[in-house]
């Protein structure tokens, strides 16, 4: 009788066992959250840690193992001979002498180049004004107390260090004094960038017009500050150009101001409400699959039994859509169309409005996908559209570095200088243009500034 009672399952025991399992999962989840909160130095750590991660470093047999090639003889700056007359240990006479060569590559010790520009001025009776000559390499024609100025190369390098690489002005001034012997103050560098941004405003406007003509544009935003006020830094980017905007608003008006109300391309973005405003209802969009898959993976880890089945099945369908995109070139049009329709039917079945969900998170996620249904598979119908918003998120990473190291901007003028110069520097790098040389030409051009365009109308 006792054996039969032990084998008989107790409903109360099963309930208690399920509660214990749920509590264990909740404790594990809270521990992961605490670990992420306390380890702020690793902001991009994974939510789920592998038990047996791969070791760091290059794998055996992979990569280029070639040694550093010696420079040609005409590039050898100097040859230094170290003679050996006697043994350095005992002072004895040497025999069977041999000659060895070692080439050492080092950086020169730079020093500032001071250039005196001697210009002339004269009175023009016809124009009834005094005119003055100017050398093409001059940045400024100021005289008197402002006669000593900083040259275009130093100013351009400082702008690149601060706005693209996130080096604070104080550290740039320290670097210039230590490495170059050029004494500057952080305030002088900030004022230099503000004047440079005003001169580059027309180039920035051309970039905005170019972005509006692009076939695909990725958009994203991150928190910012202007002094004590909250703001947002937006990015609009594709493979050929990037435009940054700092605005106190996070609404759809920023998107319309940059891309225009008549934008004809494809907007690649996440599910933030600003991109779903009614003024953007007629736009073609692609919602980021990476955000969907990340949310589904978290839901699958946190849910149990039947509640975990929905995110697992939906993630499998979305991954199949990504595989179909990669295999598109190998399939016939009919086969590709048949598989695409099958994927769409499976998604529609999983998120159907008539389906009853016992889990509230699953119900909300299905509702979100129903809302974004026509923006889910644009990348399967257009080859120039990416399935994720990773390009825009990568464009935001330099801005995040600036936010952590420089503390955003203190004034509206500084914010304007930052988003103008950041747009120009990043776009120049995308297009394979020497950004420092470009800014130097911009500083020494008195009439029309050099252009980073044209961006092709069919750019992706």
The confidence band for 48, taking pLDDT boundaries of 50, 70 and 90, is low
The CA-based diameter of the chain, rounded to the nearest angstrom, is 124
The predicted model gives 256-276 an average pLDDT of: 94
The answer to whether residue 306 is domain-embedded is yes
Rounded Cα gap, residues 272 and 287, in angstroms: 10
| pLDDT tens by residue, 92-111 | 898 988 999 888 888 888 88
The confidence band for 210, taking pLDDT boundaries of 50, 70 and 90, is very high
Number of domains composing the chain: 1
The answer to whether residue 335 is domain-embedded is yes
> Residue 194: which of 410, 407, 417, 425 has the closest Cα?
417
Most confident of 114-118, 324-328, 444-448: 324-328
Give the Cβ contact number of residue 299 at 10 Å: 20
The predicted model gives 148-177 an average pLDDT of: 92
| pLDDT tens by residue, 291-300 | 999 999 999 9
Rounded Cα gap, residues 169 and 194, in angstroms: 13
The confidence band for 445, taking pLDDT boundaries of 50, 70 and 90, is confident
Q: Give the pLDDT of residue 8.
A: 58
Answer yes or no: is pLDDT of 140 > 90: no
The predicted model gives 149-165 an average pLDDT of: 91
Give the Cβ contact number of residue 370 at 10 Å: 13
| Residue for token pair 């329709």 | 341
Rounded Cα gap, residues 228 and 185, in angstroms: 24
> pTM for the whole thing?
0.77
The answer to whether residue 354 is domain-embedded is yes
Asked if 274 contacts 460 with a C-beta cutoff of 8 angstroms, the reply is no
| pLDDT tens by residue, 344-377 | 999 999 999 888 888 899 999 999 999 999 999 9
The confidence band for 47, taking pLDDT boundaries of 50, 70 and 90, is low
The answer to whether residue 280 is domain-embedded is no
Answer yes or no: is pLDDT of 398 > 90: no
Answer yes or no: is pLDDT of 1 > 50: no
HSE-up of 269 (CA within 13 Å, CB side)? 24
The answer to whether residue 19 is domain-embedded is no
Asked if 372 contacts 389 with a C-beta cutoff of 8 angstroms, the reply is no
Answer yes or no: is pLDDT of 5 > 60: no
Answer yes or no: is pLDDT of 458 > 80: no
| pLDDT tens by residue, 399-428 | 888 888 878 899 999 999 999 999 999 999
Q: Give the pLDDT of residue 455.
A: 43
Answer yes or no: is pLDDT of 212 > 50: yes
Q: Give the pLDDT of residue 454.
A: 60
Task: Count H helices and E strands in the chain, helices first.
Answer: 15, 7
325 lies in which domain range? 289-381
Q: Give the pLDDT of residue 34.
A: 79
Q: Give the pLDDT of residue 335.
A: 94
| pLDDT tens by residue, 53-85 | 788 777 776 666 667 888 898 999 899 998 998
The lowest-confidence range among 130-134, 210-214, 345-349, 417-421 is 130-134
Average pLDDT value over all residues in the chain: 87
- In the chain, what percentage of residues exceed pLDDT 70? 92
112-141 in b/e form (b: 16+ CB < 10 A) is eeeeeeeeeeeeeeeeeeeeeeeeeebbeb
The confidence band for 2, taking pLDDT boundaries of 50, 70 and 90, is very low
The answer to whether residue 327 is domain-embedded is yes
The answer to whether residue 373 is domain-embedded is yes
What burial class does residue 217 get, using C-beta atoms within 10 Å of its C-beta: 0-12 exposed, 13-18 middle, 19+ buried?
Answer: buried
The lowest-confidence range among 15-29, 236-250, 329-343 is 15-29
Answer yes or no: is pLDDT of 43 > 90: no
Q: Count the residues in the chain.
A: 460
The answer to whether residue 357 is domain-embedded is yes
The confidence band for 37, taking pLDDT boundaries of 50, 70 and 90, is low
The lowest-confidence range among 105-119, 149-163, 270-284, 380-394 is 105-119
């Amino acid at each position: 009788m006792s054996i039969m009672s032990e084998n008989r399952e107790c409903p109360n025991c099963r309930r208690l066992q399920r509660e214990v399992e749920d509590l264990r999962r909740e404790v594990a989840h809270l521990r992961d959250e605490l670990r992420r909160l306390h380890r702020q130095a690793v902001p991009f750590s994974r939510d789920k840690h592998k038990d047996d991660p791969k070791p760091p470093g290059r794998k055996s047999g992979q990569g280029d193992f070639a040694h550093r090639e010696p420079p040609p003889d005409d590039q050898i700056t100097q040859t230094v001979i170290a003679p050996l007359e006697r043994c350095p240990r005992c002072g004895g006479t040497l025999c069977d002498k041999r000659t060895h060569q070692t080439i050492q590559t080092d950086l020169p010790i730079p020093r500032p180049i001071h250039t005196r520009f001697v210009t002339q001025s004269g009175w023009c009776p016809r124009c009834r004004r005094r005119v003055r000559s100017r050398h093409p390499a001059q940045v400024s024609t100021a005289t008197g107390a402002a006669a000593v100025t900083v040259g275009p190369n130093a100013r351009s390098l400082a702008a690149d260090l601060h706005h693209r690489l996130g080096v604070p002005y104080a550290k740039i001034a320290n670097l210039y004094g230590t490495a170059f012997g050029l004494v500057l103050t952080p305030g002088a560098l900030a004022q230099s960038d503000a004047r440079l941004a005003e001169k580059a405003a027309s180039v920035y406007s051309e970039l905005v017009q170019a972005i509006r003509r692009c076939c695909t544009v990725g958009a994203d935003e991150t928190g910012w500050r202007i002094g004590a006020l909250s703001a947002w830094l937006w990015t609009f980017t594709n493979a050929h150009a990037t435009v940054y905007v700092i605005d106190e608003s996070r609404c759809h008006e920023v998107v319309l101001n940059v891309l225009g109300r008549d934008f004809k391309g494809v907007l690649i973005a996440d599910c933030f409400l600003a991109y779903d405003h009614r003024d953007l209802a007629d736009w073609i969009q692609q919602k980021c699959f990476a955000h969907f898959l990340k949310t589904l993976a978290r839901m699958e880890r946190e849910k149990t039994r039947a509640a975990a089945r929905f995110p697992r099945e939906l993630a499998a369908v979305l991954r199949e859509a990504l595989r179909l995109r990669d295999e598109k070139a190998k399939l016939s049009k009919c086969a590709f169309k048949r598989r695409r329709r099958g994927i769409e039917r499976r998604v529609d079945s999983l998120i159907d409005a008539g389906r009853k969900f016992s889990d509230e998170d699953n119900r909300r996620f299905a509702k979100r996908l129903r809302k974004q249904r026509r923006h889910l598979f644009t990348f399967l119908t257009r080859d120039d559209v990416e399935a994720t918003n990773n390009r825009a998120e990568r464009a935001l990473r330099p801005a995040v570095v600036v936010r952590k190291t420089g503390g955003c901007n203190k004034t509206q003028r500084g914010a304007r200088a930052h988003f103008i110069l950041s747009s120009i520097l990043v776009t120049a790098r995308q297009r394979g243009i020497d950004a420092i040389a470009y800014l130097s030409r911009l500083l020494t051009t008195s009439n029309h500034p050099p252009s980073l365009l044209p961006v092709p109308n069919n750019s992706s």
